Structure 1
């Protein structure tokens, strides 16, 4: 084994064989946004269906979550698997030799966000709160959300990632040196993304020296003494190298699928089985193009006056560990907008205060449904409709993310979003998992 491969393996990283569409196909119609976006806007996905009709497209091999409640899941999953097999067998998608892909994404909000397509070893990943693995979740994982997603993966021959995994690299040694020499690398794709998704370029990173440089830079990030000094943690023995920024539940589903596959494999077979790895985009949390946006809440079929009253009462009864400052939440209903102040929150983050209450409230009022929304304009539009309520949340400081996860474990679910909905990863690259 090459030295850099050994280093990467110890760090939970693998150089994948990535699949891309044949150059004769329109990438503008191939790439579509992550399946967990626009979950309350069926019209978005109907437009995508219209735009991609009759063309090879990732739309035909994913399961947009807006359709999860339609009751035809098994039929959809079978169709997805058949389409995947067809795309492989007919040469619509083809496998590259082992490589990384340097990604440069432009959106309506940022000129450039750099990333690196790699595969992560799921044996080094644990999404449970308080885990000490190299790869960890940044937000709470809802176990109930995993079974339908694992089922989608169960018989799928390939995976398509919308997962973005963060590294804390303030000196910019891992991804940025590749970006600086991008004009010397082979360009694999360069096109406009649909539905206001911006523009994306991908560069082939296959030279052993380049991959070795990535391995060395990641090894330095994982050096225990440097790690302790960076975060001011004298007794910390477990390095957090990769923090899942987007696609927490997608990576958790890949882990669940791998645990199922593993049961039927010998130890030797487990070592290099393709389902052991998951294709992700690595992004430096210090990249200027990466912006943390709050994820807002919209409630449906709710009595907003009752909710506001119970919100205040809930924290009168649950104020054992008073946080240092009050939390203020702005909201909108069909009656107009307003705000509520919680003087005795139990969480340091506003999202923790709100989500603890909403979890309780929805359990007590099962007719109330919730959606997690990127972008204040959508919250305003949905929240102002009769029977609905939109609650706005502030954003968090992205440079505090790693230390917060190290000290406190996974954050409350849907704490932050890496950009607006149209800035999410688009499905583009694939990898065999069977």
Structure 2
């Protein structure tokens, strides 16, 4: 058990709680069938989720505790309500059946091994939603890295607001260049009890976890996070002038899930007394913290697919839009030679492919150029829909289907992330992905939120 003073310092100074984590009892579950990928993956591929369902069968699984977003567009309101009701019932069932071990005052050290051989390292803990603000221009300790789509939050609220448990797929990033928070723990991981070690399904690789409960280790985590959030150190690191509020945690994945947790907490706390608000479990959200400089952390672009789109009209309107803004915009079937700073966006469609070119763009990122026009086009053409996908193979497969277009975007330099968010605010939504879809966080741990 950590002492009360340390717990208060963690919450008040760095927005962290290490109160408790639930893990399924390995003797009661097949861990490979228990753990499934984040609900916001494979959103245009219901076949993936049907294959997961067949693999899981009737076994205990996080599949029954989440709402795969591939079904959001196809389920009617009654089906959605029944699915959410079943999720809540299954959570209650698992708690009643004693499926979980509860680890008090614990953080979990995580090593994810990917099929290609790379490893990513992280730390499971809870963060204080009072220190998180996803709104534009936020100066909170925990911030979104991309624009939050508010209409994506209400369906998630319906799941969380009456749920007894949360299961995290949120990844928060720290800019820890000197490797002071997570890496020292891995140097002595063999001193900690291993709490899981198994293969993930569907080419997800493998995962291992160790329980860190030693008070001295948790004190070291606190001191390292406190250093990263020190205003003087923060300003010096980024060469800032004037007063800039420190950014300690940047949301890498799962921004809308964290925003949902925030929205639910704001609604709930209005019904609580000041004393009840201080340490209510719903005030916190379980996340995995990853160092931006982890060698296994790869930033991948998030590509776009348009459905029910008139390809020729889209191209014509795209060029007209950016030419009217003073850029030089055109389409070509051959990869062009362009001036530095130009944006060249490859596309595919049924029977053809080519490039959209914008010279002298107003923004730095090609994703901002493409998404800026897609937003305009969707308003004028409500029959067209967009999805955000990982992997050029998915763009090829879906983009070439009749009535579709697929667009390839460039990766972002991860070393520019924190400085960009600090100076410019949130990036365009779906700017980058931390790995391909099968490398996303899999649901595994849980936490009580009521």
* TM-score, length-scaled by structure 2: 0.94
- Quote the Cα distance in structure 2 between the aligned partners of 1:369 and 1:93: 41
In structure 2, the residue matched to 1:20 is 23
Q: Which one of the candidate residues 58, 65, 69 is aligned to 1:65? A: 69
Structure 1 residues not aligned, in runs of 5+:
none
Equivalent pairs, count? 434
- Quote the Cα distance in structure 1 between the aligned partners of 2:41 and 2:346: 23
Q: Is 1:51 matched up with 2:58?
A: no
- Quote the Cα distance in structure 1 between the aligned partners of 2:248 and 2:21: 23
Q: Which one of the candidate residues 373, 384, 398 is aligned to 1:382? A: 398
Q: Which secondary structure state, in structure 2, belongs to the residue aligned with residue 287 of structure 1?
A: coil
In structure 1, the residue matched to 2:333 is none
Q: Is 1:267 matched up with 2:274?
A: yes
Q: Which secondary structure state, in structure 2, belongs to the residue aligned with residue 18 of structure 1?
A: strand
Return structure 1 stretches of 4+ with deviation > 6 angstroms.
none
- Quote the Cα distance in structure 1 between the aligned partners of 2:156 and 2:23: 23
CA contact (8 A) 1:316 1:344 kept: no
Q: Which one of the candidate residues 111, 121, 133 is aligned to 1:114? A: 121
1:112 deviation in Å? 1.1
Q: Which one of the candidate residues 36, 42, 65 is aligned to 1:38? A: 42
Superposed, 1:120-159 pairs within 5 Å as 120-159=127-166
In structure 2, the residue matched to 1:432 is 448
CA contact (8 A) 1:315 1:344 kept: no
CA offsets 1:47-84 (integer angstroms, 9 cap, x no match): 11011111000001100001112111111000000000
1:318 deviation in Å? 2.5
* TM-score, length-scaled by structure 1: 0.98
Q: Which one of the candidate residues 383, 395, 414 is aligned to 2:430? A: 414
In structure 2, the residue matched to 1:360 is 376
1:3 deviation in Å? 4.2
- Quote the Cα distance in structure 2 between the aligned partners of 1:239 and 1:87: 40
- Quote the Cα distance in structure 1 between the aligned partners of 2:258 and 2:324: 37
CA offsets 1:321-364 (integer angstroms, 9 cap, x no match): x9982211000011222111012322111111111100000110
- Quote the Cα distance in structure 1 between the aligned partners of 2:400 and 2:95: 46
- Quote the Cα distance in structure 1 between the aligned partners of 2:365 and 2:118: 30
1:16 deviation in Å? 3.0
- Quote the Cα distance in structure 2 between the aligned partners of 1:415 and 1:31: 27
- Quote the Cα distance in structure 2 between the aligned partners of 1:118 and 1:21: 17
CA contact (8 A) 1:187 1:202 kept: yes
1:162 deviation in Å? 0.3
1:22 deviation in Å? 0.9
* Mean Cα deviation higher: 232-241 or 4-13: 4-13
CA contact (8 A) 1:335 1:384 kept: yes
Superposed, 1:302-341 pairs within 5 Å as 302-319=309-326, 325-341=341-357
